[in-house]
A = this chain, B = another copy of it.
Amino acid sequence: MNGAHAVARTLLNSGVEVCFANPGTSELHFVAALDDEPALRAVPCLFEGVATGAADGYGRMTGRPAAALLHLGPGLSNGLANLHNARRAGTPVVNLVGDHATFHKKYDAPLESDVDALARTVSGWVRRCDDAVGVGTDVAEAVAAATGAPGRVATVLLPADVSWSDGARPAPPVAARPPTAVPEQTVAAVVAALRTGEPAALLLGGAATREPALSIAGRIAAATGARLLCETFPARLERGAGLPAVERLGYLAEGAMAQLGGVQHLVLVGARAPVSFFAHPTLPGLLAPDSCRIHTLATTADDIPAALSDLADTVAADAAAVLQAAVRPPLPTGALTAETAAAVVGALLPDGTIVVDEANTSGLWLPGATAGAPRHDWLTLTGGAIGQGLPLAAGAALACPDRPVLCLEADGSAMYTISALWTHAREGLDITTVIFANGSYAILDMESRRLGMPADGSAHHDLLDLTRPGLDFVALARGMGVPASRATTAENFTARLRQAFAEPGPHLVEAVVPALF
């Protein structure tokens, strides 16, 4: 058996079932191996950032890694931005990066680059395979490294001759590191903090924004009066009617500082102490009040549900969480704006939807409008590298074929990885994409004003304006095989979204909205 076949078989042995792929010549033996392993589903992507973003979406929804097949340093480079988001999300991902044959690297052929250095910038684990004999073990260890708590990006650098050489054998699964048990005294310290009676909040992240941890946190909040907050950009927040409502920290420092004002005890549960997304000349980087004491109950490496359960046993033995009521906004009429569009989404969101949110400024009203919608998952831009939404939606849809996916996408961000729409069509994924077409990088307009700079210069307008010419997302989507339409009023946005939700397969609705800034 050659190395490539051993890699494919080992991935299957270890529970990897999907490979998002953008192969080149150095990966062709692996492509041939996939021909013999139909259980390992090969999903073509027209750009590596689609493959890595899809692997992130898949991993967030399953807790298991997909593989991303990439072509040497340049292929990995194109995938790095969405791997950065995956790293920030703590998503398990296994990169297979084909490389020149071991004996060829010394020639510095045109595609040669420092792929090892590139891999280290996003990976929690990197392995360069030396020979076919060891490649099965390399891959099994990669899957374990990716999967254990916390999830991480694991990158296997796979030279072409390792793939084509014989003498390889598949490896059995390697046990992933289990989450760490949180010591009793750590829980006891949090108990003491919550029993002071001083204002407290739990800041949830990682597994704490999902069940079963979320409901336990809700009980603790109900019993102690602590508020339930979560990080600004959670990897996957379960929310909606019947779940405890969690307040996300705001994106702007001044907003988050207001939310945290008066909190005397901030208990971190899979989250880190909140910091400003960007520095601002006159605002602090650390957002909790100076007087606030920060307690870490559990990191993402820890057993978060168990730690919360231990805490609840002491402080919330008989408490019931306060649950979000089922409530939807009425369907709006008239002008389509970010606000009325959010109301339509809230009014129509199907039960069990996976929402991918890269709506940026146009998404301001979305959390409020959907808070009482039927239970759903909310996936956000964890690392700030835009161009995540369309790929993430592809991976989430492949991970959960029985659930609808709603991708809420800003026009500027959509263009980074627009070719993901082709993968939506190719795989027949049940994804409804809404493009919030406000014709600008509006967030930069907002940040300019916030920084006290004039937003009326010609370079400013040239670089932030997307209307000369306008982007026609209906044409772009149809050009990649995705049925598409445009909405310019609340009424026709309602009609288009209803239709998209009712029909299986991918759809795109361009929602023309004014920029907020």
Contact = CB atoms under 8 A, between A and B. Distances in A.
Contacts of A451: 28-29, 164
Nearest to A272: B108
Contact of A107 (B74, B285, B419): B285
A453 B32 contact: yes
Contacts of A108: 272, 275
Copies in the complex: 2
Given A103-B285, A459-B31, A419 B425 contact: no
A4 to B, nearest CB: 10
Interface of A: 21, 23-26, 28-29, 31-32, 34-36, 38, 42-44, 46-47, 49, 73-75, 77-78, 80-81, 84, 88, 100-101, 103-104, 107-111, 113-114, 117-118, 120-122, 160-161, 164, 233, 272, 275-279, 281, 285-286, 382-385, 387, 412, 415-416, 418-419, 422, 425-426, 443-444, 447-448, 451, 453-454, 457-460, 462-466, 468-476, 478-481
Contacts of A122: 113
Closest 4 interchain pairs by CB? A35-B457, A469-B481, A475-B479, A74-B385
Given A32-B454, A454-B35, A26 B278 contact: yes
5 contacts: A28-B447, A36-B457, A100-B278, A118-B121, A426-B468
A429 B473 CA distance: 22
A53 to B, nearest CB: 12
A154 to B, nearest CB: 17
Contact of A383 (B24, B110, B281): B110
Nearest to A413: B46
A7 to B, nearest CB: 13
B78 A416 contact: yes
Contacts of A164: 281, 451
B279 A46 contact: no
A468 B424 CA distance: 11
A111 B88 CA distance: 9
B49 A78 contact: yes
Contact of A233 (B110, B275, B387, B479): B110
